Amino acid sequence: MAKQIAITMETKIEQTLPMDKIVDKALKKTHTIEVTDAKVWYDDFMAIQGIDMVIKPNTVTAFIGPSGCGKSTFLRLFNRMNDYVDGFKMEGKIKVNGRNIYKDKIHVEELRKEIGMVFQKPNPFPKSIFENVAYGLKIQGIKDKKLIAERVEKALRQADLWEDVKDKLKKSALALSGGQQQRLCIARTLAVEPSIILMDEPTSALDPISTSKIEDLIFELKEKYTIIIVTHNMQQASRISDFTAFFYLGKLIEFDKTKKIFTNPEKQQTENYITGRFG
């Protein structure tokens, strides 16, 4: 079953690879992320040791590597979630849509509306399902109830959750199953209408069926969004991503098309890792 899904997905990747031609630019403008010589310290510990990377719009990029290699830290640079960590220090440039998000006069709140994030463990608010999805809109000061209801429905449909919850929108989100909660968290992110979505091991706390649903979802979302996903699951990376970046000890070892990384990597280290010889 799982194998079948994997196969259909890979064929999908083949079909949609010439991404730039398919994307309807008028539909949704997405942004390129350019990272130049990023370095991160936590107090004296250097977690990211100078990384350059360009992430193209409307692609799925997977970050892989052993625990503690800095991939999550690197991901969290893009929406400045590391700012809250004590002792965090950053050097280098990260440009989103040409603007340096650590230098130019940027409102972090504005940046995060543009770059959404889904976390490792489903973390719905202890509020109703509706309120969870509406949260991002309400904090923007949107008061129009009809508009909010529309956007909530749209987001829930996009996250493939509408049919499950349309009759119990007023019920607590905590009553949902883990997989549903995670799709709710994705819906919550989509409702804000970001252009880039960061996912930090979004399926590591889920069972295989919920995982495959989320993977299907990521596949659909690629049409409109740029997705960067951290994963410990090699198969997942190969199934859903267009590009894969392999991190090791705070360095970017290799970054290329997923197919290339998984079939014919340049570096020995990469090959050792994806074949399970270490990590």
Partner 1 sequence: MNNLKKNKIIDSSFKTLGIFFTLLGVVILIILLYNIIKVGYSRVNWEFLTSLPSRKPENAGIYTAIIGTLDLMLLTIIFAIPVGVGAGLYLEEYAHKSRLSRLLEINIANLAGVPSIIYGLLGLGIFVRFFGFGGSILAGALTMSLLILPIIIVATREAIKAVPSSLKEASFALGASKWQTLSKVVLPSSFGGILTGIILSLSRAIGETAPLIVVGAMAYVPFVPHSIFDTFSVLPMQIFTWTTRPQAGFAIAAAGAIIILLVITFVMNGIAVYFRNKWQSKLQ
Using CB under 8 A as the binding rule, whether residue 125 contacts partner 1 is answered as yes
Query: What separation in angstroms does the CA of 239 have from each of 2, 147, 148?
Result: 11, 36, 34
Using CB under 8 A as the binding rule, whether residue 90 contacts partner 1 is answered as no
Question: At closest approach, how far in Å is the CB of 84 from partner 1?
Answer: 7
Question: At closest approach, how far in Å is the CB of 138 from partner 1?
Answer: 8
> Could you tell me if 95 and 33 are in contact, meaning their C-beta atoms sit under 8 angstroms apart?
yes
Question: At closest approach, how far in Å is the CB of 183 from partner 1?
Answer: 14
Which residues does residue 252 pair with via DSSP β-bridges, in sequence order? Answer: 247
Q: Which of 41, 42, 102, 119 binds partner 1 (CB under 8 A)?
A: 119
Of residues 127 through 156, those in contact with partner 1 by CB under 8 A are: 127, 135-136, 138-140
Using CB under 8 A as the binding rule, whether residue 170 contacts partner 1 is answered as no
- Please give the single-letter amino acid code of residue 45: F
Q: Which is nearer to partner 1, 108 or 209 (CB)?
A: 108
Of residues 53 through 82, those in contact with partner 1 by CB under 8 A are: 79, 81
Contact set with partner 1 (CB under 8 A): 79, 81, 84, 86, 109-113, 116-117, 119, 121, 123-127, 135-136, 138-140, 172, 174, 185, 188-189, 192
